[in-house]
A and B are shown apart, each in its own frame.
Chain A
């Protein structure tokens, strides 16, 4: 199994003599742990910096659990009203506030390290979501969601949504003015849901907003329901990862039948543990030096005041931006006396619905339109799947535009611009930006693929100009070495599905032709434009164009050889 001589693992001796040996023997006789150790100790994991992104998400979650347990020791999830008697902060002294808000102040000002833990917890939540999103981008753009990992992609998407739920429910717990207004917006969104909206609002708040139930309810969701689900699904996520063995980037010796990398013990155990402490350390540094959510500056919840420039946490910005961009005029309909608020439903329900639906169904759509049923363990270079990469960038662009729109008031005040103009610019950008991003990304991918072809066919430019006896000048090109070439030719360029004729051999109309034709169209959208990898025949042809045809000749000038020939188009 191993190419190295450093396999040190041997069977436990029959008669253990050392303390560790005795302990291992005791344990193994009761758990047969030896089998698991034999299975996993030297399990190989491929190495790449981008495989660390998911780890960052996992470790920030662990930091969230550690700091969160600290916070639960002091937080009191009650909306009963009290007068604040704490000495600090001075501006809160004597104010009427909920017990939840008062306990947040107490844990910040009286518990040593309490404020540190609050700040670490909040920063960890932001980094947790950021790491999840970046990890998803890595998985998406490299095609790691393909068979057999589609289900694990779904688990991952669910984890992301749970992360949003965790962040949202936690943000609202201190019961300050900002989070209260956030809840109020949530209430407005819930009420806009047709037919059951009002009842949903009553269900969430236990009556009218804000009532006195929402903080304890969110607390249970935040510390029990969501983390419980997160833990269970993270376990499933990792179990499936181990079962499938990790994907690897393309390169020499990496195939769909093997896994090339370093052993779990000791290399990955050490690297992962090290990574955990670094993630924790960086989060501790952020918590120590960067103040976040100073609730005593906002004050306890009061339904009347609100300040401009209030932003939700970053992962909610896209929803906030969508709400801000939607024009209100004429988008609230009254049908048979019932009110349908499209000005709220579209941005708050339809837009995230489109985003999440895209994420959930994408692996299945791509499998369907490529007709590919093989297992994939070697990752794609994003350029080699131009349409997928372009679609990913399209959705990211829309997400970023919406997030920026969620900060349009800050943009207005910082750059001294009209808020109305900014809003209009974003309204237009939301439609134009993603389309433009799709087009640019696809062209960039195809361009990079052509550059790869060019390199494989003609080699690196060396900058050396040689003059022949007959006076001809050429620049010497150095052919790619085997590894360089393999990276650039080792990919598939699927062609669109072939559409079977409308009628069968006997002229009878075929069932399912209409559906086939629809899928055929989608398939063409995906694979119509493509750049085929260079074949040995093409390389040989490129070399024989000149008078020097030895493949390995170091100073062989590869001249023009129908560069565009590899770009196939099917119409």
Chain B
């Protein structure tokens, strides 16, 4: 490592002069520190009236704080939060303003007191280098050596190994049971499965009413869930399953459909795509009728539903998986099958 050629040996702040074009001049190399600037008196130091006034102001501010506290208590008793949101808002406002006055009174009084009435003469104290003295260091090293020799750790190799192994191993007693359960059943393959299966009816989110193909007009959008029992929809398991299974259904003019992810996966212009963004999993909920674009409101990935939901803009890389659909005997929309690929964001073993 090379040396910096002009690091002054001492730790002073004074300026070192460097070689300049005016090399011929012989002058002191640095300016000298003029010392702490002269103390200037404040008005309250010189004018007894101003001093008295400042004292009164401080007192008044403390009194104001007391009034703020009293005000809060009055608001607590007199204005209970009644009548819904507006009542709660009023109560919050009054309690908060009382608290504010109570706190700011103390705060401003303190600062004003310190600034106008307490001493403002600058004091100078020395600093010392942070490093401990050579003597202390030598002493510390000697103590450590003595202690190490005392324990005999240096010559008891097997013991040393046993100590280190025991200390390194004991956390396993806590870590193993924890890791065993912290990830539930650890079956990450569940990412690949949704509730959709052959013949499952498409239902409206959140009412759960099945959708008839005839009810879907061209240009309309449906937020879709699998047709499951109402009881199931009130279970916690449902929230987790719904997180994967939500679908967005759109009816296009069949002539507008440029491509699909599978032959015959749409029904009479009705296409259904997973609503879970292939970027990081937000629900892709904004549909623009004119352009057939689906926009994810989180990070603006844009998909073209008329063209296999291919990405036209934004951070997503893959199209939204398409749900193959058809109609059953009663004219209700049903899934031909589950999704052909995992829905939602990518992960390492997605294609395995």
Contact = CB atoms under 8 A, between A and B. Distances in A.
Interface residues of B, number: 123
B13 A373 contact: no
A565 B318 CA distance: 61
A337 B346 CA distance: 12
Interface in A446-494: 482-483, 485-486, 489-494
Given A112-B76, A197-B348, A375-B11, A495 B297 contact: no
A529 interface: no
A295 interface: no
Contact of B25 (A500, A516, A541): A541
Contacts of A185: 280-282, 298
A188 B301 contact: no
Interface in A54-98: 79-81, 87-90, 96
B110 A273 contact: yes
B121 A324 contact: no
B127 A483 contact: no
A306 B109 CA distance: 48
B108, B347, B348 interface centre (most CB from chain A within 10 Å):
B347
Contacts of A306: 282-283, 285, 297-298
Interface of B: 1-8, 11-18, 20-22, 25-31, 33-37, 76, 80-81, 84-85, 88-89, 91-93, 95-97, 99-104, 106-111, 113-115, 118-127, 129-130, 179, 182-186, 188, 190-191, 205-206, 223, 225, 234-236, 239-240, 242-244, 246, 275, 277, 279-283, 285-286, 297-301, 311, 313-318, 344-352
A492 B15 contact: yes
A80 B17 CA distance: 73
B281 A202 contact: no
Interface string A295-336: 010000111111111100000000010011111111110100
A42 B25 CA distance: 47
Contacts of A340: 348
Contact of B125 (A43, A244, A331, A373): A43
Contact of A492 (B16, B97, B223): B16
15 contacts: A115-B81, A187-B281, A188-B281, A270-B118, A276-B107, A277-B104, A301-B239, A304-B206, A304-B242, A324-B300, A341-B345, A370-B4, A375-B130, A419-B300, A497-B1
A116 B298 CA distance: 29
Contacts of B1: 371, 497, 512, 516, 519
A116 B22 contact: no
B33 A274 contact: no
B99 A284 contact: yes
Contacts of A341: 317, 345-347
B123 A278 contact: no
A285 interface: yes
A245 B18 CA distance: 31
A344 B11 contact: no
B198 to A, nearest CB: 23
Nearest to B118: A267
> How big is chain A's contact interface, by range?
35 or more
Contact of B121 (A6, A251, A371): A6
A156 interface: no
A266 interface: yes
Given A209-B243, A371-B3, 14 more contacts: A3-B36, A4-B123, A89-B84, A119-B96, A252-B36, A277-B110, A328-B314, A331-B317, A486-B31, A489-B30, A532-B20, A537-B17, A537-B26, A568-B20
A342 to B, nearest CB: 9
Contacts of B244: 208
Contacts of B314: 324, 327-328, 423
B346 A565 contact: no
A366 interface: no
A15 B179 CA distance: 63
Contacts of B103: 277-278, 280-281, 284
B27 A536 contact: yes
B282 A184 contact: yes
Interface in A167-200: 181, 184-185, 187-189, 191-199
A101 to B, nearest CB: 12
Contacts of A371: 1-4, 7
Contact of B2 (A188, A189, A198, A516): A516
Nearest to A498: B2
Contacts of B12: 255-257
The 5 closest A-B pairs by CB, nearest first: A288-B96, A188-B280, A274-B110, A371-B4, A277-B107
